[in-house]
Amino acid sequence: MVSIKSKGDFKNFNKFVKHMMDHDYEKVIDRYARMGVKALSEATPIDSGETARSWDYEVHYSKGRTEIVWTNSNVTKYGTPVAILIQYGHHTKSGAFVQGIDFINPALKPVFAKLADEIWKEVTSY
């Protein structure tokens, strides 16, 4: 037999949920998505500058989940995203390998940290 006992009420939880419903969290998500675009643009190694200028984002909402997807529209004539070639490296036509530069993860790390900090402050304020 399993027994669960609880003391108190859900007043603070209910206040938090009401606050989140009243608070336009979509604006917060949009702000961090734009912050990510800026960080990626600034961190992208520049040759022509086209890849740095091609960052954008999409926000996907589903039941109990919000997802930010950063995109880059600069692709090779074969459809390969140039940002991925820069990030992970690639072979040239002559067979040489161009080493990748990890610029995406370091660029987004502070964005994730700020977002997590803001959410933590929101949750612990109740």
Predicted confidence (pLDDT) per residue in 58-76, tens digit: 999 888 788 999 999 999 9
Is 90 within a domain?
Answer: yes
Domain count, the chain: 1
118 within domain boundaries: yes
User: Rounded mean pLDDT of 41-46?
Assistant: 95
Rounded Cα–Cα distance for residues 106 and 15 (Å): 36
Reply yes or no on whether the pLDDT at 14 is more than 90.
Answer: no
42 domain residue, yes or no: yes
Residue 9 lies in a domain: no
How far is 57 from 61, CA to CA, in rounded Å?
A: 13
95 part of a folded domain:
yes
Query: Does some domain include residue 6?
Result: no
11 lies in some domain: no
State percent of the chain over pLDDT 70. Answer: 79
pTM score, whole prediction: 0.77
Which residues, in sequence order, are CB contacts of 56 under 8 Å at separation 6+?
37, 70, 71, 72, 73
Q: Which domain holds residue 29?
A: 23-124
Instruction: Report the chain's C-alpha Rg in angstroms.
Output: 21
Higher pLDDT, 32 or 25: 32
Look at residue 9 and tell me whether its pLDDT is greater than 80.
no
The pLDDT value recorded for residue 1 is 42
Note the pLDDT tens digit of each residue in 74-90. 999 999 999 999 999 99
